[in-house]
Amino acid sequence: MITMKFVKNIAIALAAVAGLSGAALASAGADKHPMEMEWEFSGPFGKFDLASTQRGWQVYKQVCSNCHALKYFHFRNLSEIGYEENMIKAFAAEYTVAGDIDDAGDPTERAGRPEDAFPSPFANENAARASNGGALPPDLSLIIKARHDGANYVFSLLNGYEDAPAGHEIPAGKHYNAYFKGGAIAMAAPLSDGVLEYEDGTPATQEQMAKDVVNFLTFVGDPHMQTRHQLGVAIVLFLAFWAAVLFLSMKRLWKPVKEGKNFYEGK
């Protein structure tokens, strides 16, 4: 038989669990949903904002590339966002990559070429961790695809640095960011107003740089998206045209039958 005391004890236990869960979530700092932004690349008709994507390339080169690699990105892909061949060659030549083994069996280095992948800023994983307090900076090639609601998440994360709320302890060497799981992130705020000067004269505000680098990283993760969307639209229009032709042809062929005439007599 269920007594009032039993019900009361159950209620107290549930309240305690709820309180502990709430405290855990508050401590985790992982309950802040990413900001909802409008992106030109979204949807079946999405396309890249070329000017913004080029500025994002500048942000990556001057800020992000100090810690983060793009191991699946090749310099030649920059042609998809409007860079000409001579410019791409110049970009690649700014970097040194591993060359062939020489006659003595020793490794060599050479200037980068358009077919090369973007080189990592660190020689290996241990070097990357040693330079970042034990944390391993993630490769950004597929970061937008790898994270749920990736574009909004990365944009929010880059703009989400703030002072930790009261009672939220941040370990030494960490920084508070409500959009990061757990709230404590090893990466210091990478962007701030005026940290670089855009080549096209656009004001380099923190929010603008975050938007531009998200556009660039979306492009890196899917460099042929715009071409694929354009091809998809063309195919849909082609199929729609022939569907209309076949429909009208069918109506013409079956019209005599519906009128009770001999199929072969036509009119």
- Condensed to tens digits (0 to 9), the pLDDT of residues 145-195 reads 999 999 999 999 999 999 999 888 899 889 999 999 989 999 999 999 999
In a domain, 69, yes or no: yes
Alpha helices per DSSP H over the chain? 4-28, 50-62, 85-93, 125-130, 143-146, 150-158, 206-221, 225-258
Least confident of 118-132, 159-173, 222-236: 222-236
- Mean pLDDT over 79-97 rounds to 94
pLDDT over threshold 50, residue 18: no
**Whole-prediction pTM value?**
0.76
Mean of pLDDT over the chain: 84
Give the range among 75-84, 106-115, 222-231 with minimum mean pLDDT.
Answer: 222-231
Determine the pLDDT at residue 119.
93
**Same domain flag for 123 and 248:** no
pLDDT average, residue stretch 28-36:
74
Q: How many domains does the chain have?
A: 2
Which domain, by its residues, includes 258?
227-265
State how far the alpha carbon of 150 is from the alpha carbons of 47, 125, 138, 156, in Å. 17, 24, 14, 10
Q: Are residues 258 and 128 in the same domain?
A: no
For the cut 80, the answer to whether the pLDDT of residue 22 exceeds it is no
